[in-house]
Amino acid sequence: MKCYICAEEGKSTDAVAICIVCGMGLCMDHAIRQETEIWSGGYPFPAEKLKETLPRILCKYCNQALKKGSPKGG
Amino acid sequence: MVSLMKRSVAELIGTFILVFFGTGAAIITLMISSGQTPPNSFNIGIGALGGLGDWLAIGLAFGLAITACIYAFGRISGCHINPAVTIALWAVKKFPSHDVAPYLVAQIVGASLASFTLAGIIGMGAVTTGGLGATAPFEGIGYLQAILAEAIGTFLLMLAIMGVAVDREAPPGFAGLIIGLTVAGVITTLGNITGSSLNPARTFGPYLGDLVLGGSNLWIYFPIYLIGPIVGAVLAAFVYNYLSNEAG
């Protein structure tokens, strides 16, 4: 699979990841890696943020859309 | 996890809300019905307006306040807002020993503040007519019978908490609603037997308020609302763990 964003720019680059939202193939330069917090607990126990995070890969389009849709504005 | 101080404040606010809205509903019901003559000592006024519906209304005031608190504070402190629940979780090693005392103090302070606040808002009628929503066994209900009733009621409450919240297999998101409705249901049945406290802090606040503000001194009944709920909750936690354990 090739990187979609590179293809838009007229380049041909091998994809190393896939956007978790839209499935777009992404090269290393265009893959955005986000670390998602993991929480354990919750009623009737206090919630606790774990040291480990859950990585997820996004393309720039989905990353922007999610930031706009987030209650905190990203 | 947020600090113990913040969690204790969440417990204090949660118990305040529980007692303010729950016992507040009982006080208002008694005050609304005070113009009617109770036909017998088993009828103190609650029930005069709509039979068992009065108790359901009071139960829903408690239950919906609990539901709101669980969704608001569940992730912060665990939202026990009940010493019996805290002690039961500690008894089955689900809650750390060093956090128990601060939680209990916060719950008792929150409940007491709620009772004094109700008296401050409504006036002395809340004490003289409403008794600040204090619980006491009704006529014909003995001390041990009252303890047993409180234990059974809190047994069901704790069983629901274990099943819909503590159990890892429980469907997420329902705990607050189900536990609130469970409390409402239990109060509907036990209301005219013991007042249906299910919570030592919920009885402590009105008792203290009544004592300080010149209402009835009901402290002789306090062991009912201490022993019954704690025994019922601890028993439910152990029974649930035993029944849900696949080994053996």
| pLDDT single digits (tens) B160-193 | 999 999 998 888 899 999 999 999 999 999 999 9
Lowest mean pLDDT among A19-23, B39-43, B225-229: B39-43
What does the domain layout of chain A look like in residue ranges? Answer: 4-69
Judge whether B75 is closer than 8 Å to chain A, CB to CB: yes
- B77 to chain A: which residues are within 8 Å by CB? 46
User: What interface predicted TM-score (ipTM) does this complex get?
Assistant: 0.81
Contact B135, B197 (CB under 8 A): yes
What pLDDT band is residue B95 in, cutting at 50, 70 and 90?
very high
Which residues on adjacent β-strands are paired with residue A2? Answer: A14
CA distance A53 to chain B (A): 16
Task: Enumerate the residues of chain B whose CB falls inside 8 A of the CB of residue A43.
Answer: 70, 74-75, 78-79, 165, 175-176
Residue that is written with structure tokens 């704690």 in the block: B230
B2: nearest CB among A42, A45, A46: A46
Residue among A14, A1, A5, A13 nearest A59 (CA): A5
Q: How far does B166 lie from chain A, in Å, by closest CA?
A: 7
Count CB-CB contacts under 10 A for residue B171: 9
CATH superfamily for B4-243 is Glycerol uptake facilitator protein. (1.20.1080.10)
Domain ranges in chain B are 4-243
The dihedrals phi and psi of B164, each to the nearest 5 degrees, come to -100, -10
Percentage of chain B surpassing pLDDT 70?
98
Residue with tokens 């893959």, as numbered in its chain: A31
Mean pLDDT of B119-139: 95
